[in-house]
A and B are shown apart, each in its own frame.
Chain A
Amino acid sequence: MAVYINGAQAISPQDTFLNSQIPTDLKEYYGIMQSILPDFKKYFNPIEMRRMSRIIKFSTATAAECIKEADADSIDAIITGTGLGCLEDTQKFLNKMLDNNEEMLTPTTFIQSTHNTLGGIIALANKCNEYNLTYAHKTISFESCLLDAVLLIKEGRKNILVGGIDEITEENYNLRQHINQWKEEPFSNLDIYDCGTGGYKAGEGAAYFMISSQKTATTYAELRMIDLCYKFKNSGSLSEKIKDRLRSAELSPDDIDLVIFGFNGDRNTDVYYHRLKDTLFRNQDHGYYKHYCGEYDTSASFGMWMATRIIKQNHAPDNVILGDRKREKINNVLLYNQEDDKNHSFIVLSAC
């Protein structure tokens, strides 16, 4: 049973919102990479404008545009993925609790701190009583949503809204500096590839997709495969494992025209991508995306947004491509992401 992507919208640190193209004029960031936000007044009333945090706003607006674009008859499920959920509201409640020694607290930030707030608000806005789930597993939060969406399509549902959303705050950025997660500043997002140093750039964003059982006028691509693996420990080499996984989707490495890797600038993580790029996928085109959006738990959703444009236009801009172009037609794109040899994810999109 084929599964299609009939809507794809993203808010990110680049000019991507409502953009049918992948921007080629990249915005440069030397520190934290925060999203470029649209005018939210179009999406929210004054009370919502005041109460809702940044992540709730950029998530909800992205979802609204994705729903509008796909123009589906129904929304049969809403699945959101977020590594850290509503960070700003969580911090606000936590700080106030610590400052005031657990007294004089108000509920709004607590209510809006839960991970499932994002999906709940979309259900509320669309009066959608259907299946609603939130995944919160680090770097596979978004991919878990995709996997679930494919199961739901096989179970007979038609249109599934799937999103990957995370925010970065100054406070969280400073906190994670204590465990050396970031590149030492100043460091440009345009320099992350093969930079030879540790740490990565902090990013954020929201990307929403309409995953559907029917091909329509707005279809970008077919979602051919979604697979996850926690660790490859004791189970053969990475290359063998990937071949295995591709085979289960009736694909071979040679069928893949473009591999989009999760290069994030941290040499310790990037070594796995380099290895594949030079061996199993040496005859394919290679690309990356985290210089656009930075690294965050659901950054793979931005990668998939990029892949929808590449497939639809049969073209990847120079900013995305690493090295020589070898393929004329981009039929199958593999997105591969992992986190320190943990939480490997494979997404294949195909032209249709």
Chain B
Amino acid sequence: MVNRVFVTGLGVISAIGYNVAENFNSLKSKKHGIGKLDILNTVHRDKLVCGEVKMTNEELLRRIDLPEDTPYPRTTILAIHAAREACYDAGAVDGDSVRTGVILGTTVGGMDKSEKFYRRLNENTDFIQSHNCGYTTEKVADYLNLHNFVTTLSTACSSGANAIMLGGRLIRHGLLDRVIAGGTDSLSKFTINGFKTLFLLDPNPCSPFDKDRKGLNLGEGAGFLVLENERLSDNKKRYCILSGYANNNDAYHQTATSTDAKGPYLSMKNALEISNLKAGDIQYVNVHGTGTENNDITEGLAMERLFGGKVPLFSSTKAYTGHTLGAAGALEAVYSIMAIENNIVFPNLNFSKAIPDLALSPATEVIENAGIKNVMSNSFGFGGNEATLIFSKE
């Protein structure tokens, strides 16, 4: 396999902005999006903070030129919003004339709508068909007028990263020339309550990699990349190369990572192997860094094992956006590419003291001119599903 995979378009929507430029400005000016919920109606709204996109479905639909009464779940609307931006950015608007795939990762699909109408069938039955994960992918493909290849994967919090990985592999194998790949998830009562029962939510803004971290904040959003082969991306702006990727399973526990961090270590190590890079070639790691007791210690241990005494600059951007679950890997892929494009490292907010068993401190201020050529992005999930992506400057 010699085909290289280029990133030619970016799209993102999150609690810190409705597009790539707004997200970048927020990251650079340390402006986070964590706060009380205004849109989602849950009984817990006064007792927790989340990374919510502060527009109603109707407002978002207007922005993507769809009628306000379009019966899409919020997950779908967020996805179209980000996918459209990515395709415009790449000039990938020529429909079926190019062998194009649409690949999406999501965890609960149209749950935001299902939970609303599950007991109100006399008002709405649309949710029955929009509940499944593949629904959104097809709506994105339809919106972009693409009729070739679609598929959807669901690997909990690594879904978005796995979608990008599959997109890259299909191009490398020469089966597709272009892939619109990303992840999406909206906030839902289902996930908020699920994480609450696991005691994984910090009621205050989360503090990834801090000694006193108390859990994660949930968030919502979508991120998309346009991936293209060498020929298609010739003579157009190439942000970077998708140079490495790996997927491994921790095979330890349904919701917790192993104490020796085997899965996370393997996925980082194997991604490096694919990219033909050495550990020392990585200048920045956008860590999974959820802010939970378990994730941050094991991810830190895995990094120490992989990088030895020379762990590169790293930060978690989840204190900005919250943990956006199926979207996280895609959102953070966009941020990792921004880091290469702008030669910058984004800070890890709310960090004050290092975890005692780790000699690791994340970047806490914006670092410019950081010589960023290769960036690693981690996404780890329930079910032991670990994924790592590496993006490299051409």
Real binding pair:
yes
**A: which residues have CB within 8 A of B?**
78, 83-85, 93-94, 97-98, 101-103, 105-107, 110-117, 119-121, 123-124, 126-138, 140-141, 144, 147-148, 151, 154-155, 175-176, 178-179, 228-235, 297, 342-343
Instruction: For the A-B complex with A231-B147, A235-B96 known, give 12 more contacts whose Cβ atoms are closer than 8 Å.
Output: A107-B198, A110-B197, A111-B198, A111-B255, A120-B385, A121-B254, A124-B254, A126-B251, A128-B249, A134-B155, A137-B151, A138-B132
A179 surroundings in chain B (CB, below 8 A): 125, 128-129
User: Would you call B251 and A137 a contact (CB within 8 A)?
Assistant: no
A107 surroundings in chain B (CB, below 8 A): 194, 197-198
User: Would you call B43 and A114 a contact (CB within 8 A)?
Assistant: no
User: Would you call A234 and B150 a contact (CB within 8 A)?
Assistant: no
A141 surroundings in chain B (CB, below 8 A): 134
B141 within 8 A of A: yes
Cα distance A135–B133 in the bound complex, in angstroms: 9
Identify which of residues 240-290 in chain B touch chain A, using a CB-to-CB cut-off of 8 Å: 247-255, 262-263, 266
User: Would you call B153 and A133 a contact (CB within 8 A)?
Assistant: yes
**Closest Cβ neighbor of A148 among chain B residues:** B166
B342 within 8 A of A: no
Cα distance A235–B133 in the bound complex, in angstroms: 26
Least CB distance, B91 to chain A, in whole angstroms: 21
User: Would you call B173 and A151 a contact (CB within 8 A)?
Assistant: yes
Least CB distance, A36 to chain B, in whole angstroms: 26
User: Would you call A98 and B119 a contact (CB within 8 A)?
Assistant: yes
User: Would you call B154 and A230 a contact (CB within 8 A)?
Assistant: no
Interface centre among A111, A137, A138 (most CB of B within 10 A): A137
B383 within 8 A of A: yes
B131 surroundings in chain A (CB, below 8 A): 84
Report the 5 A-B pairs with minimum CB-CB distance, sorted nearest first: A120-B383, A110-B194, A137-B134, A132-B249, A137-B152
Cα distance A3–B198 in the bound complex, in angstroms: 42
User: Would you call A178 and B154 a contact (CB within 8 A)?
Assistant: no
- 14 A-B residue contacts at CB 8 Å? A83-B134, A97-B193, A111-B194, A116-B154, A120-B383, A123-B383, A123-B384, A129-B249, A129-B251, A133-B385, A136-B134, A137-B134, A229-B149, A232-B147
Identify which of residues 105-151 in chain B touch chain A, using a CB-to-CB cut-off of 8 Å: 107, 109, 114-115, 118-119, 121, 125, 128-129, 131-135, 137-138, 141, 146-151
B196 within 8 A of A: yes
Interface size on B, residues (CB 8 A): 64
B344 within 8 A of A: no
A132 surroundings in chain B (CB, below 8 A): 155, 247-249, 383-385
Cα distance A237–B293 in the bound complex, in angstroms: 56
**Closest Cβ neighbor of B265 among chain A residues:** A129
User: Would you call A119 and B383 a contact (CB within 8 A)?
Assistant: yes
User: Would you call A176 and B254 a contact (CB within 8 A)?
Assistant: no
Identify which of residues 209-266 in chain B touch chain A, using a CB-to-CB cut-off of 8 Å: 247-255, 262-263, 266
User: Would you call A123 and B249 a contact (CB within 8 A)?
Assistant: yes
**B: which residues have CB within 8 A of A?**
1, 42-44, 96, 102, 107, 109, 114-115, 118-119, 121, 125, 128-129, 131-135, 137-138, 141, 146-156, 162, 166, 169-170, 173, 189-190, 193-194, 196-198, 247-255, 262-263, 266, 381-385
Cα distance A110–B382 in the bound complex, in angstroms: 11
User: Would you call B147 and A234 a contact (CB within 8 A)?
Assistant: yes
Cα distance A129–B386 in the bound complex, in angstroms: 10
Cα distance A277–B313 in the bound complex, in angstroms: 61
Least CB distance, B123 to chain A, in whole angstroms: 12
B385 surroundings in chain A (CB, below 8 A): 116, 119-120, 132-134
User: Would you call B250 and A129 a contact (CB within 8 A)?
Assistant: yes
- The residue from B118, B141, B196 contacting A230, defined by CB atoms under 8 A apart: B141
B190 surroundings in chain A (CB, below 8 A): 93-94, 97
User: Would you call B147 and A230 a contact (CB within 8 A)?
Assistant: yes
- The residue from B248, B254, B262 contacting A117, defined by CB atoms under 8 A apart: B254
User: Would you call B251 and A134 a contact (CB within 8 A)?
Assistant: no
A175 surroundings in chain B (CB, below 8 A): 121, 128
Cα distance A220–B262 in the bound complex, in angstroms: 35
Q: A116-B154, A136-B153, A230-B148 are in contact. Are A130 and B248 (CB under 8 A)?
A: yes
A232 surroundings in chain B (CB, below 8 A): 147
Cα distance A114–B385 in the bound complex, in angstroms: 12
